[in-house]
Amino acid sequence: MPVLSIIACEMLEDELVYILSQDESLTKLLVAENRQCFRFVRKLKSKNCYPRLFPLDRISFFLKEINTPMSVKIQNILLRVPFVGKVLKNMKNKNGEIITVVVNIQRLDLHIDCEILRSEICRNIREMANYSDGILLFYGNCGHSLRSLETDFKNLGCSLYFLKDGNEDIVDDCISVALGGNDIYAEVMQSGNGIGMFYLTPMWASSWGKMRTGASDTASFDKSFLRNPLYKKMYKKVVKISNEISNGEEFDTNIINFSQTFDMSIVEIKGSMEIARKAYLDAKNLVSKKQYQTQKQLDKCTECNAIRT
């Protein structure tokens, strides 16, 4: 059974909850248990999506257990029987490949230092590649943290997938994801005519106060950042990004509180879930195709061995 792993930024958990809960074919969802996963799991359950939690170092063992049950062995034998095998393959093609999805949520404060962020992403890639057919990095190119990862892991034996826009460029950050791509992000910024705009998704609106200013990452900030006379003069508008995940009184309240705290006017812009949705579906399809090709090669080898004997 193919495995798609997802290493995700905590700031993009709403987008991930949305696309996973919309996937009617998803029957096996595992979440790496850590301190930042519990809110994510609560949101999944509120959408009638119920994952199983395991410590990261136990997921490999569990996958081996569920992927080698007696039923799988019996099915593999039946696939070799001409008529029965044809029926089973038709059923499989009709229902789609069953894929196990493993999610590993990473904490927000990794963004304080881009080198630390990259180091943690790389560490998790190496650990999860042992049981994954593909890994989707649910991150923007935050401070170029993902630069050259494809090259660095070209011999990993596990494909890496990224959040990309219509130009096949890795998105700049989570705001680019929410708006629909780097070009749209640039257009929105230019529309401000020099007026600084601060962009808020539901997660940003509820979590911005947790971010801290780091010496190596000026994109992080605390309250003093926007209260600094220089930045207070620069930033005049808060942009509320509306899409499928932005409905709700909590988001509206957080936007209002933010605008009042920093004396900004509110501008609402229509966002999109297309980048997150497409990246997930494309990764699933590629992992399924990779597994199919591998199985086809194994079946061919089995047939050749049978002929020789």
Domain residue spans of the chain = 3-171+274-308, 180-270
What are the structure tokens assigned to 137, written together? 């990095």
- Name the least confident of 91-105, 127-141, 147-161, 209-223: 209-223
Percent of the chain with pLDDT over 90: 61
User: Would you place residue 184 in the very low, low, confident or very high pLDDT band (cuts 50, 70, 90)?
Assistant: very high
Give the pLDDT mean for 88-92: 48
Strand order from edge to edge, sheet including 265-270: 196-200, 235-242, 265-270
Residue-wise pLDDT tens digits, 280-298: 999 999 999 876 555 544 4
Decide if pLDDT at 86 tops 70. Answer: no
Q: What is the pLDDT of residue 82?
A: 64
pLDDT, position 74: 53
Confidence (pLDDT) at 264: 93
Report the SS3 class of residue 101.
strand
User: What pLDDT is stored for residue 302 in this prediction?
Assistant: 46
Other beta carbons within 10 angstroms of residue 171's beta carbon come to 26
For the stretch 232-270, pLDDT in tens is: 778 899 999 998 888 788 999 999 999 998 899 999 999
- What digits encode the pLDDT tens for the residues 149-169? 988 999 999 999 999 999 999
Position 199 pLDDT exceeds 50: yes
Name which residue leads in pLDDT, 50 or 208: 50
Confidence at residue 289, expressed as pLDDT on a 0 to 100 scale: 85
Q: What average pLDDT does range 86-90 have in this prediction?
A: 49
Q: Which residues of 196-223 are buried (b: 16+ CB within 10 A; e: fewer)?
A: ebbbbbbbbbbbbeebeebeebeebbee
Q: How confident is the model at residue 228 (pLDDT cuts 50, 70, 90)?
A: confident
pLDDT band at 224 (very low <50, low <70, confident <90, very high): low
* Type of residue at 129: A
Residue 221 has pLDDT above 50, yes or no: yes
pLDDT digits (tens, 9 = 90+) for 125-154: 999 999 999 999 999 998 788 888 988 999
Write down the residue that tokens 């190119």 correspond to.
141
Mean of per-residue pLDDT scores for the chain? 84
Task: Inform me whether the pLDDT recorded for 209 exceeds 80.
Answer: no
What's residue 147's pLDDT?
82
* CA 171 from centre of chain: 12
Split at pLDDT 50, 70, 90, the class of 46 is very high
Half-sphere exposure of 136 (CA within 13 A, CB side): 27
Q: What is the pTM of this model?
A: 0.83
* 171 secondary structure, DSSP code: P
Give the mean model confidence (pLDDT) for residues 189-201.
90
Regarding predicted confidence, which is higher, 18 or 295?
Answer: 18
The CATH T-level fold of domain 3-171+274-308 is Rossmann fold (3.40.50)
The reported pLDDT for the residue numbered 217 is: 41
